[in-house]
Amino acid sequence: MASATGAYFPILALRYERTGLPADVIEAVTLDVPGPGPGEALVALRSAAIHYSDLGLINGTYGKARSLPTIAGREAAGEVVALGPGLTTPKIGALVRMPEASGVWREAVVAPAAELFSIPPGIPVEQAALAFINPPTAWRLLRDFVTLARGDWLILNAGTSAVGILVAQLSRHFGYRCLSVARDIAAEKTLLAAGASAVVAEDSGYEKTPARWTGGAPIKLALNAVGGESVGRLCRAVTHGGIVVTYGGVSAEPLRFPTRALIFNDIQLRGFWLDHWVHAQPPATVAAMMDEIFPLLRKGVLAQPIAARYPLGEWRAALEHAFRAGKGGKVMFECHWRP
């Protein structure tokens, strides 16, 4: 079957037909992408994130599964490089979010133009590629569970993670006080620069005397991305009636909640998954949130550190680097493909 334009473009894509370890199941394949037809746009990948949730999808442990075979990758920014007949928007050269459902670890995709989420100009391309998962997660964690006022304290583990850095940056922006828990106190300088008010090591015993770090002020909100013993420490650190929100489990250990904190301190245990929140909202609500986040990305108020960049063809090295401890930022795919 011929494309609407009669043209096809060979592209590189990272595909998997079964779940498992990325090195075992991902294949680099060449696909033919058609030129855009009526109502369609051809979008070329410019920058794509490598997330732990990508690993979860590939190995079959994430909260939702994709129909197989599929292209890997959830989050990326692409450039509109061609439009179907009669279309004038989005503009050629505009940055848009690559459609997640199609998989984004691919050099290009054809998509309905009306469904593309436009990215405002002035945002660095890598931060644009990282705009739709971690910044909204940090935003909702700070907005949806506790009403915080300027000067109020919160605490989070995984302080050096992407969401941990963003929570610290947003805390500084909103005037909140953030106690960041890190595996190693050597991260203190980085986290203080990001916006944390204080930094403690995971195994320092901080939960026994949290007032030492807050000047006696209560900690109303705790954010957990680790699990295991770490979340138990957060439970002990929050004030009476405090809320502990779990949004990740990078340790893969069961959550260990202290019974005494549940009974005598009446703490609340909650969970958050951005995918569920997005699908439960009208598109206008999601767009309104992004309209608040985009200016912060453009001004550099929010910025996720970048550890390395790889072309798609070096995907094995990229994934090994991305899931290495202590990498110091996001590992990204970069692409310069043009039709």
Convert the pLDDT of each residue in 306-334 to its tens digit.
Answer: 999 999 999 999 999 999 888 889 999 99
Amino acid at 86: G
User: In the structure, what pLDDT confidence band is assigned to residue 91 with cuts at 50, 70 and 90?
Assistant: very high
- Are residues 167 and 89 part of one domain? no
- Are residues 271 and 146 part of one domain? yes
Give dist(CA 161, CA 153) in Å, integer: 19
pLDDT at 262: 83
Strand 26-34 and strand 70-71: the pairing is unpaired
Domain count, the chain: 2
Give dist(CA 152, CA 186) in Å, integer: 25
Q: How far is CA 123 from CA 95, 133, 164, 229, in A?
A: 9, 16, 21, 38
Q: Is residue 71 part of a domain?
A: yes
- Are residues 91 and 147 part of one domain? no
> Given 16, 52, 62, 310, which residue is catalytic?
62
The DSSP code for 301 is S
Convert the pLDDT of each residue in 268-288 to its tens digit.
Answer: 999 999 999 999 999 999 999
- Are residues 105 and 181 part of one domain? no
Residue 89 domain boundaries:
8-130+304-334
What is the pLDDT averaged over residues 80-109?
96
What is the pLDDT averaged over residues 61-77?
93
Q: Is residue 137 part of a domain?
A: no
- Are residues 191 and 148 part of one domain? yes
For position 27, which CATH number holds? 3.90.180.10
- Are residues 251 and 152 part of one domain? yes
- Are residues 151 and 115 part of one domain? no
User: In the structure, what pLDDT confidence band is assigned to residue 121 with cuts at 50, 70 and 90?
Assistant: very high
Q: Is residue 35 part of a domain?
A: yes
Give dist(CA 111, CA 89) in Å, integer: 13
The DSSP code for 187 is G
Indicate if 8 belongs to the active site. no
Amino acid at 222: A
- Are residues 268 and 154 part of one domain? yes
- Note the maximum CA span of the chain: 70
Last residue within a domain, chosen from 234, 260, 275: 275
- Are residues 146 and 124 part of one domain? no
Q: Helices marked H in 1-88 — which ranges?
A: 22-25, 52-59
User: In the structure, what pLDDT confidence band is assigned to residue 3 with cuts at 50, 70 and 90?
Assistant: low
Cis status of the peptide bond prior to 112, with omega within 30 of 0: no
Q: Output the six-digit token pair for 216.
A: 């006696």
Residue closest to 108 by CA, chosen among 178, 180, 35: 35
Give dist(CA 299, CA 239) in Å, integer: 34
Q: Is residue 224 part of a domain?
A: yes
Q: Is residue 65 part of a domain?
A: yes
20: left (phi over 0), alpha (psi -120 to 50) or beta: left
Q: Is residue 339 part of a domain?
A: no
Q: Indicate whether 4 pLDDT > 90.
A: no
Give dist(CA 182, CA 158) in Å, integer: 6
For position 198, which CATH number holds? 3.40.50.720
Q: Is residue 69 part of a domain?
A: yes
Cis status of the peptide bond prior to 69, with omega within 30 of 0: yes
Span between the terminal Cα atoms of the chain, in Å: 20
Convert the pLDDT of each residue in 147-199 to its tens digit.
Answer: 999 999 999 999 999 999 999 999 999 999 999 999 989 999 999 999 999 99
